[in-house]
Amino acid sequence: MSCRTWWEKVILDTFHCAGITGVDQKQLQRVCTILYEKFATPEPYRVYPESQDTLLALAQRGIKLGIISNSDDRTEHLIKELGLGSYMDFIIISALEGIEKPSHGIFEKALRLAGTSPQQALHVGDDYQNDYQGPILVGMHALLIDRKANTSSCNSTKDSPLCISNLTQVLDWV
């Protein structure tokens, strides 16, 4: 199934689950097209204010940087359009790889591309299962980013995830 077809299915299922019925199929298809094309542009997305400065600081330290994203074939272009691509040594998109987080394989590919071992790698993300447990199971270090700064459930016991509230805090971990 193509990425576009997958998203159309998600959009149509959302309408169905919301109880929206009696809508003309042509109208639904038009809505799908508008949404798909809109989210292929940088406009609906935002880059957090500290992101570029932090990525630059990490790159200046000689740290290899990459993105592992459970997303579709539009993502790499969006990353570049948002001004983040120039900081990256690699970008791995699950839809193009046929494997997604938290699968070991996607993290192992990132390690190969970075030319490093799991013990020397740090993964940062906002999803506990995909971005924290996944890399930990491969032997990587991981930080969970909680931008609401609600880190009370983090860092409290030896089994709690290690959390940060903004990307700048990564600099304290490398």
- Phi/psi at 172 (nearest 5 deg)? -75, -15
Using the predicted structure, report yes or no on whether residue 154 has a pLDDT greater than 80: no
Level-2 CATH architecture, domain 51-172: 3-Layer(aba) Sandwich (3.40)
Q: pLDDT digit string (tens) for 74-116? A: 999 999 999 999 999 999 999 999 999 999 999 999 999 999 9
Q: What is the mean pLDDT of the chain?
A: 92
Q: For residue range 30-43, what is the model confidence (pLDDT) as tens digits?
A: 999 999 999 999 99
pLDDT for residue 159: 64
Q: How far apart are CA 70 and CA 83, in angstroms?
A: 20
pLDDT value for 25: 85
pTM above 0.95, yes or no: no
Assign residue 76 a region (left: φ > 0; alpha: ψ between -120 and 50; beta: otherwise): alpha
Neighbouring-strand partners of residue 171: none
CA dist., res. 142 & res. 159, Å (int): 13
Can you say whether residue 36 is alpha, beta or left, with left for phi > 0 and alpha for psi between -120 and 50 degrees? Answer: alpha
Query: pLDDT tens for residues 21-31?
Result: 888 889 888 99
pLDDT over 70 (residue 157):
no
Cα separation, 149 vs 162, whole angstroms: 13
Distance in angstroms (rounded) separating the CA atoms of residues 42 and 115:
30
